[in-house]
Amino acid sequence: MRAAGPARARRRRDREREPLVAIGPARDDGQARLTVVIYLARHGETEWSRNGRHTGRTDLPLTPNGEAEAAALGGRLAGIDFDAVYSSPLERARRTAAIAGFPNPRITPLLREFDYGDYEGKTSAEIHELHPDWQLYRDGCPDGETPAQVYRRAHDFIDLAATSSGLVLAFAHGHIIRAIAVAWMSLDIASAIRFQLDVATVSILAEDQHARGLKLWNAPSAS
């Protein structure tokens, strides 16, 4: 594969700036099915996300850069008529939603981030100094949540979203979004470690006549 030249790189950046196209619920044999398409938006940058620190219960604000990312995220979501919009109760998710143009989301604790317990505020490197083989989605966190608990929350959110039977948008956090994605596809929670997810990105979960899957993953906001 050839390295991208200036023109190719410019075209790639232009595509990243384009608004997303709404993906409607699947149809089968010409009949509309009662199904849901879920857009998952990760919040913009915070001081801890920039430094790689696990941020669960700690209610941090967005950085100025994170607010700019949230505004750009709104550009990608503009023009899509969502049937329901949800948000985590934490400020970084609610603020991202507001800046992106969705000031009144339905708040649900199902979208709160993984409770990291004793690992709150620590980087993965710091945790691995104590527990070299630690994996979040396999081992969970001492005095925090287990992977099974987070997986249950993910399924519960999917059930909640499905009551809308249309386009649903959710503003949430990196590790719970990954859990929702694997729950949607009926994968084991441990497989969530394989899904890279950056701040201020959009992912889309949808269903066709064959199975549930990813229509879009980790798409950057316009910049």
Give the CATH number of the domain where residue 204 resides.
3.40.50.1240
Say if 24 falls within a structural domain. no
Say if 22 falls within a structural domain. no
Say if 8 falls within a structural domain. no
Render pLDDT for 173-204 as a digit per residue (tens, 0 to 9): 999 999 999 999 999 999 999 999 999 999 99
* Nearest-angstrom CA–CA distance, 197 and 94: 19
Say if 135 falls within a structural domain. yes
Say if 2 falls within a structural domain. no
Nearest-CA neighbor of 116 among 103, 107, 127?
127
Nearest-CA neighbor of 110 among 70, 163, 69, 67?
163
Q: Is 113 a catalytic residue?
A: yes
Residue type, 55: T
Render pLDDT for 65-96 as a digit per residue (tens, 0 to 9): 999 999 999 999 999 999 999 999 999 999 99
From the candidates 45, 54, 69, 113, which is the catalytic residue? 113
Q: Do residues 182 and 150 touch, judged by C-beta distance below 8 A? A: no
* Nearest-angstrom CA–CA distance, 7 and 76: 22
Render pLDDT for 28-55 as a digit per residue (tens, 0 to 9): 444 445 489 999 999 999 999 999 999 9
Residue type, 200: A
Say if 28 falls within a structural domain. no
Domain range for residue 39? 35-220
Q: Is 120 a catalytic residue?
A: no
Q: Do residues 86 and 170 touch, judged by C-beta distance below 8 A? A: yes
Residue type, 29: D
Say if 94 falls within a structural domain. yes
Say if 7 falls within a structural domain. no
From the candidates 43, 54, 173, 175, which is the catalytic residue? 43
Output the CA–CA distances (angstroms, integers) from residue 86 to 47, 109, 128, 168, in the order listed.
24, 10, 34, 8
Task: Give how many domains the chain has, as a whole number.
Answer: 1
